[in-house]
Every structure is written in structure tokens, then in C-alpha cells.
């Protein structure tokens, strides 16, 4: 995410959304959610894929708050300037 810094200089900061799905995967030590390879990994085995709200499709600044959005999930609110995940909004 690019931010306007001092003297009109652009800065960059990047951080994972601390979602429930990410915490589950970190605890297990491997991927749980199939990602984009649904056909090869999941559907071919006849399983119903799980979905993880990554909150990483778009960032929106609204009413003084920053939100990470994904089409199929609840927005995550992030703090500025450190981008700490505050939770689902």
C-alpha cells in the first residue's frame, strides 16, 4: 500500500491481514485453504472447498478508517500507519 509521506514523497508498507484463516494455517504449519487451484486440489476429489477471508482485494479509506476488503467476506479494519489488523468490521 503506497502512502503519501513527508514532503510529498511516496512510502510503501505491506503486511498480511491477520485473519482467522491465516492464524489457523500458521498454527497447523501448512496450507488449509485451497486458494486458486480448486480444480486440481479439491473439486477433483469431490470435496467442498473451504473459503478464507483474506481481506486483500482492495483497500478503502472511509470516515477516517482503513479497511481491507474481499468480495466474499467481511471487511477488516486496519490501523494506520502500522497496518495492524484490528479485526473484522
User: What are the backbone dihedrals phi and psi of residue 23, each rounded to the nearest 5 degrees, phi first?
Assistant: -65, -40
Cell numbers describing residue 80: 494506520
pTM higher than 0.85, yes or no? no
| Segment holding 26, helix H or strand E | helix 20-28
Instruction: Give the mean pLDDT of 65-75.
Output: 90
DSSP class of residue 21 equals H
In angstroms, rounded to a whole number, what is the distance separating the alpha carbons of residues 13 and 4?
Answer: 11
- How confident is the model at residue 31, as a pLDDT? 80
Domain spans in the chain, listed from the N-terminal domain onward? 1-17+54-89, 20-52
Q: Are 82 and 16 in contact (CB under 8 A)?
A: no
**For residue 67, what pLDDT band results from cuts at 50, 70 and 90?**
very high
In angstroms, rounded to a whole number, what is the distance separating the alpha carbons of residues 66 and 46?
Answer: 39
Instruction: Give the mean pLDDT of 39-62.
Output: 73
Amino acid at each position: 500500500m503506497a502512502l503519501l509521506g513527508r514532503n510529498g514523497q511516496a512510502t510503501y508498507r505491506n503486511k498480511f491481514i491477520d485473519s482467522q484463516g491465516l492464524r489457523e494455517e500458521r498454527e497447523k504449519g501448512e496450507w488449509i485453504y485451497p486458494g486458486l487451484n480448486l480444480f486440481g486440489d479439491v473439486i477433483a476429489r469431490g470435496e467442498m472447498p473451504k473459503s478464507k477471508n483474506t481481506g486483500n482485494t482492495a483497500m478503502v479509506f472511509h470516515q477516517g478508517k482503513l479497511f481491507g476488503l474481499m468480495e466474499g467476506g467481511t471487511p477488516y479494519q486496519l490501523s494506520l500507519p502500522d497496518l495492524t489488523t484490528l479485526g473484522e468490521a
